[in-house]
Copies of this chain bind each other. A is one copy, B any other.
């Protein structure tokens, strides 16, 4: 009873052909939009059921991706709380999905603008891994003519820092690259740390690439501002109902060839959790908030999630 677009999209998400919090969220919204356009449901009720079923399939494609249920809930919440006939409902569904896609696309740009206001000429900024939102801030500030420079970690095991430094160097931003374990020694030259986020929990804890919490700790020790750039669809409503954020363990091969290391267990957690007391501000497309106000964003977007 659900449409082909949904199946196709959910498979691509499951196979990780579609990756990245933003792309996943937009693909899900688009699938629901196409589904609404082509639905053959005869009544508003059937139409709603069809979209809900489609939403469930999409959410099931990668249960750990926070942005996926957020996108689905955004579209369904608006149409479920309306009181319209079928043609109007179809129109609303299409419009709502389009709104989400549009807002999501503009979010990074808005974060860039809002965050850049926090950057002063003369700042040295440290970043970790590769975050589109964090780079949006840095590049916007640089393009505004601010005299800034960047220190980026290589970000073992997958060296996403290499992408970051190349992108910055291409844009003309003065940039230094260091090994991850040198972050503390360079912290005394740093004015601000800016990183992205995989998701943000109800208490403002930031889930991000392994090593982030260690840099946050060093920044806290040195009283360097620690800023997180995150679209609102990264906020994690399930944590409000008590759910823990699961930390993904990735293949040992990313770290070293296990066959050369007989008798050694190679561990490779992909993320870590930065506690809110080490985060100064979260920069979203809706404005700048302290981590303790994450609950406010979650509540405003998704309401109190009362468990059943």
Contacts and interface: CB of A to CB of B under 8 A. Distances in A.
A113 interface: yes
Q: What's the dominant secondary structure at chain A's contact region?
A: mixed
Contacts of A176: 264-267
A198 interface: no
A117 interface: yes
A280 to B, nearest CB: 7
A218 B221 contact: no
A242 B179 contact: no
A108 to B, nearest CB: 13
A50 interface: no
Report copies per complex.
Answer: 6
A175 interface: yes
B214 A262 contact: no
Interface string A256-275: 10000111111111001000
Interface stretch (A16-24, A30-38, A285-293): A285-293
Contact of A182 (B210, B222, B287): B210
A74 B247 CA distance: 41
Contact of A290 (B156, B166, B202): B202
A305 interface: yes
Interface stretch (A5-13, A58-66, A80-88, A183-191): A183-191
B185 A269 contact: yes
Interface in A151-171: 153-157, 162, 165-166, 168-170
A267 B154 CA distance: 11
A181 B214 contact: yes
Interface of A: 110, 113-118, 120, 153-157, 162, 165-166, 168-170, 172, 174-186, 188, 202-204, 210-211, 213-214, 217-218, 221-223, 239-244, 247, 255-256, 261-269, 272, 276-277, 280-281, 283, 285-290, 292-296, 299, 304-307
Given A120-B244, A222-B222, 9 more contacts: A110-B307, A115-B242, A172-B263, A184-B214, A202-B281, A203-B289, A217-B221, A221-B223, A240-B289
